[in-house]
Structure 1
């Protein structure tokens, strides 16, 4: 069977491969504690579900405009004004089935073969995948543990060339939980203005922040006009299975992205969009409670990992991930890398984590080993999982 050449350039999301392995082991009767998948373990708030049910009963089951129903686009524009402090118009909003399509469509709309796109590394693997898929050149920007997994400004400046078209940001960040400061964003804004670059700002974890305020690069002077702001409902409102996200961008680009929606998905499920309206306009207490619980779990996870010999873990500023350095643990156990440690923990001790290799190609100078753990699971599971890791890594 012969496939199009471009399919060889398309990557995947290794977290789902680990999930499949976990599912297989559980089907064999193994008890696995999973820290692998980045999905809130909370239920979608009831008022959001009820809004969707009402929409179904009101027969909101037909096609919607490709860019989203006007009511939701208006609410999103108001939400962006309230949370980012910038003027936003409904014509600048595109609603998509999940937030990931904004990444996919924006890169397709803006990046030509040979264009360079700078992206965070380690990072969400779909960044690199889609850049390669359209024929662009992915340029990894290393995130530095010593800076709490922010980037080095001089390194970023050195990566910008005449072929650079876009810089991708993700803050709070997956997999490290790092949070970019305003000073970090100002460096990106300076380069974007000087070199006429687009910035794709992945802000899907913007409501899950613990240390310091969240700042969107779109709110910096002159940046709204060159920013694609990506956000959605999956993480904040525990709506992963609803597949509802959005992008905010200049109106001319929004038209092009909506045309890509027309050519692919036609539109987002209509009645689900009414759930999105309820999420943004309804009570926010469920979100506050969830973030408070994540904060408590963060402390459990960070304290517990730092008490294990051979492991060091920085406290993440946001999201629900920790990204501990496991170099010394790998060395002591004679394991080649984080991938070998991930397999050892899963198959010998029943704990699922993700290795560094799940988050992009390693830089040549990168020598440290890391794994990612999600604490979007119960405190009981965190306690039991940490005990298993402690036993696995015991001297």
Structure 2
């Protein structure tokens, strides 16, 4: 038998880290396939169904044979609806040529990095950060600069940290509010302070607002606070979280027309457009509807209840602390008090990564370690699951960490 062939892969892949959230999802699937009852707090998607009118729009699109190519960036009707939504949200007027729809907000972010970054550029990405920001920046040739937003500041970047991170090479500043993984929501005053720091910079701000519909406090939008930054801002959003449409893969990016044109040019050579059926479903989502918005509001109410439930259960563990998240559907407790001490069975975990593996193996609960988000010593739990699962999962967690 001949030796296995060795393949030469692109050098850029040498620095690429696989998605930790996807890896944990894969491990959970394998264990469940083996008959193990795993409770997962690792998946970042709503556990609710897509609202019925949106599903009906997708079915109608199939029945009407809207199953062929569309223009790059999406059908005109959807881009018009997205432009109207972005304009209403931000207070900045966007035309149809200032938006493009994408295969999820993740693709919107990837295309933005590709359109804007060259080798030697820097991208300021506050930690804790969503896992893909870092890898997308690196794939575009940029160097991630990751100031740590501490739990003392509510996991929010301070003006002083931003000023210290800026350099002549800064190309992009990423702001994510509400945040994945922390659930932090910037106030208007906090955003204004960051905008003041950026006044004399040429950096482009990517405002990732994918969790905007899931906020438990008054939600401040970047461009509502800093409209003078409109010519240096890309708004990224999508239907996944607000409308429980993760599998439909619909996102969008809105911004200055020259940047959007560049993004669409790249898109024309990659995905071309998100699935035609998904586009018509998203058109229903972005067309004003009292029924759909009531469903979204009810989802947010349920997430709020679950947040309070999981926080109350976590408070029963004296060795950990946890900030109260103001949005999204994650808690991000500090678990350093559980490290380097005996747990059940005498097991000692030396990192939050070690702890999440222990919890999966021993307690059959899945979470994502803080290392994945640039924040060692923390764990992300998604509470996008039923109250019953939260109660049972936290029971297992508490039992597993008792010495």
Matched residue, 2:106: 100
Matched residue, 1:25: 31
Cα distance in 2 between the residues matched to 1:141 and 1:278: 39
- The reply to whether residue 9 of structure 1 matches residue 15 of structure 2 is yes
Cα distance in 1 between the residues matched to 2:17 and 2:78: 32
| 1:13 shift after superposition | 1.3
SS at match of 1:304: helix
- The reply to whether residue 296 of structure 1 matches residue 302 of structure 2 is no
User: Mapping of 1:84-233 within 5 angstroms?
Assistant: 84-217=90-223, 219-233=225-239
- The reply to whether residue 341 of structure 1 matches residue 355 of structure 2 is yes
Unaligned residue ranges in structure 1 (runs of 5+)? 363-367
Cα distance in 2 between the residues matched to 1:267 and 1:28: 37
User: Mapping of 1:18-97 within 5 angstroms?
Assistant: 18-97=24-103
Matched residue, 2:345: none
User: Mapping of 1:222-301 within 5 angstroms?
Assistant: 222-281=228-287, 282=289, 283=291, 284-301=293-310
Matched residue, 1:387: 395
Matched residue, 1:365: none
Is the 1:36–1:374 Cα contact (8 Å) retained in structure 2? yes
SS at match of 1:67: coil
SS at match of 1:223: helix
| 1:219 shift after superposition | 4.9
Matched residue, 2:380: 372
Moved more, 270-279 or 291-300: 270-279
Matched residue, 1:350: 364
Is the 2:162–2:197 Cα contact (8 Å) retained in structure 1? no
How large is the RMSD of aligned CA atoms in angstroms? 1.4
| 1:274 shift after superposition | 1.1
| 1:30 shift after superposition | 1.3
SS at match of 1:138: strand
Cα distance in 2 between the residues matched to 1:343 and 1:353: 9
SS at match of 1:100: helix
* Equivalences, count: 389
SS at match of 1:224: helix
Is the 2:371–2:377 Cα contact (8 Å) retained in structure 1? no
| 1:165 shift after superposition | 1.0
Cα distance in 2 between the residues matched to 1:39 and 1:309: 29
| 1:218 shift after superposition | 6.0
TM-score of the superposed pair, with normalisation by structure 2: 0.94
SS at match of 1:158: helix
User: Mapping of 1:310-325 within 5 angstroms?
Assistant: 310-325=319-334
Unaligned residue ranges in structure 2 (runs of 5+)? 1-6, 343-347
Change (3 A) 1:168 1:143: same
| 1:52 shift after superposition | 1.1
SS at match of 2:115: helix
Cα distance in 1 between the residues matched to 2:230 and 2:107: 20
Matched residue, 2:3: none
Cα distance in 1 between the residues matched to 2:174 and 2:378: 22
Cα distance in 2 between the residues matched to 1:152 and 1:306: 27
Is the 1:218–1:224 Cα contact (8 Å) retained in structure 2? no
Is the 1:117–1:136 Cα contact (8 Å) retained in structure 2? yes
